[in-house]
A = this chain, B = another copy of it.
């Protein structure tokens, strides 16, 4: 950040009065510009014993598989965001169940929040950011071609919980980018 989005004057980086962190502060109008983590909302769409994955048509991780998820928008609820992303990426309608994972990635300031969900019908197709949509049984999951470490963890927890017959919420962090995946 170099300029004030309110008045266009240059910003400087300093600790505001009463704060304890450096912020971008406007040199003209004194507006303090805060940066905040982003929420990635999505779901695990289930049909019978299978899950719906999407193969990414966009960077990062073009060509790799992911659960439908994306940035929550201003003015929507967390649930609406999860359903909207599923609609946009997979042309699929879901009914959301419980929240399944809340995973923080502090190095990129993302908090990924994925619900378990049921497809209302086995109807889906690639959205504009998707190359391919497909239902997978557990033994068919393309573990080596998953786009993100967060998705790998979410799927692992899902199958472990399902085998145990007890779903629960998993709140965890991925402290820094792993060597492969993200």
Binding site for B on A (CB under 8 A): 1-8, 10-11, 18, 20-21, 24, 33-39, 71-80, 88, 98-99, 102, 104, 106-107, 109, 111, 113, 128, 169, 171, 173, 175
Contacts and interface: CB of A to CB of B under 8 A. Distances in A.
B79 A173 contact: yes
B4 A74 contact: no
B169 A98 contact: yes
B2 A106 contact: no
How many copies the complex holds: the figure is 2
B77 A104 contact: yes
12 contacts: A1-B5, A2-B6, A2-B7, A4-B5, A5-B24, A8-B10, A36-B74, A37-B74, A75-B109, A76-B106, A98-B169, A102-B113
B78 A104 contact: yes
B77 A106 contact: yes
Interface class of chain A by DSSP: loop
A135 to B, nearest CB: 26
A169 B75 contact: no
A18 B169 contact: no
A7 to B, nearest CB: 7
Contact of A173 (B5, B20, B35, B77): B77
A41 B128 CA distance: 34
Given A111-B78, A171-B78, A5 B33 contact: yes
